[in-house]
Amino acid sequence: MHKDRKKYTIIVVEDNAGDFFLLQDYLDEMILTPEIIHVASFKELDSYLASNSKEIDIVLLDLSLPDKRGEELIKETLKIVGTTPTVVLTGYPDFSFAVKSLGLGISDYLLKDDLSAATLYKSILYNIERNKNLVKLKESEHRYSDLFHLSPQPMWVCDAENFQFLDVNLSAVNHYGYTTEEFQNMVVGDIEFDDTETDLSSDPIPGNFEDVYKHKKKNGEVVYVAIRSNTIPYKGREAKVVLVNDITESLRHLKAIEQQNERLMEIAWTQSHEVRAPLARIMGLIQLISDAQTPVEEKLEMLSHVMDSANELDGIIRKIVKQSKSIFP
């Protein structure tokens, strides 16, 4: 039989020497080089953990120790072992207490009379791996919580069916003016402005979308927001995590640019049409004046027309300059 070559550090909390030696044999049978730390009381366990920083893979705990036993022992042990998985070993079959122990946070509950090397090894292996996955899950949830609550942009989680707010971050509270408690008594539709063309709370909603909506803050201010949403599992239900980007100022800038472009088009039309007429007249009159055969009296009259056209052209140029200043003050 091939033994597990992985290094395991196991604390066995057992005051009965015979039971400890049996557990030690079981561990040696399945694991090549287990590091077994034996303590015979809760006090010894507490003292060892307080004075050692060694990472422990699992704790095997007898329920009847000289200084503590039963539920009190379980609660106190879980306080000092932290996230390390703890398996209870007992010689007394009590189904109701076993269920209660698991509810308190015990990883597994094994009867000594039914124990074998294989069952003990399987329990150790399973609970170590499960604990690693639970730790990773908690770390992932913590990272999500940080990303959510520390985001500078408003974010919320809402129910995917009725769109009730389930959680909001501080940025959403500050941006919209509602408290967290007020949000949690509202649905998304409560912050939508009445003339919003697209209703966020209408079905169906795609898994990923980004669109523009009108929202109304608590103080009555109406803002334009770009919404991005993703479907996530949240506390046993399907939910939407929503990221909000207030684009009100951006839209105002775009509107101003559009208006500037319209005025620039007007100026361009003026340059291409109104300027052309007096300029064409001036060019034609100058050509006639330069003709040696044109009588002097007619030249004088033409010079008067040239001046009129020049004044007209000057007025058009002043108009263009004024329009340009209104666009680029």
What is the domain range of residue 234?
152-246
- Predicted pLDDT at 1: 66
Assess whether 99 and 183 both reside in one domain.
no
Assess whether 258 and 314 both reside in one domain.
yes
Does residue 1 lie in a domain region? Answer: no
Assess whether 131 and 156 both reside in one domain.
no
The residue from 130, 147, 164 where one domain ends is 147
Structure confidence at residue 236 as a pLDDT band (50, 70, 90): confident
The residue from 147, 177, 200 where one domain ends is 147
Choose the weakest-confidence range: 33-37, 114-118, 312-316, 323-327. Answer: 323-327
Q: What is the Cα–Cα distance from 72 to 68, expressed in whole angstroms?
A: 7
- Predicted pLDDT at 271: 67
Structure confidence at residue 138 as a pLDDT band (50, 70, 90): confident
Assess whether 89 and 187 both reside in one domain.
no
Q: Kindly report the pTM of this predicted structure.
A: 0.54
Assess whether 206 and 179 both reside in one domain.
yes
Assess whether 64 and 84 both reside in one domain.
yes
DSSP, residue by residue, 33-87 = S-EEEEESSHHHHHHHHHH--PPPSEEEEESB-SS-BHHHHHHHHHHHHTTS-EE
Mean pLDDT of the chain: 86
Assess whether 157 and 204 both reside in one domain.
yes
Question: Mean pLDDT throughout 232-253?
Answer: 88
- The number of distinct structural domains making up the chain is 3
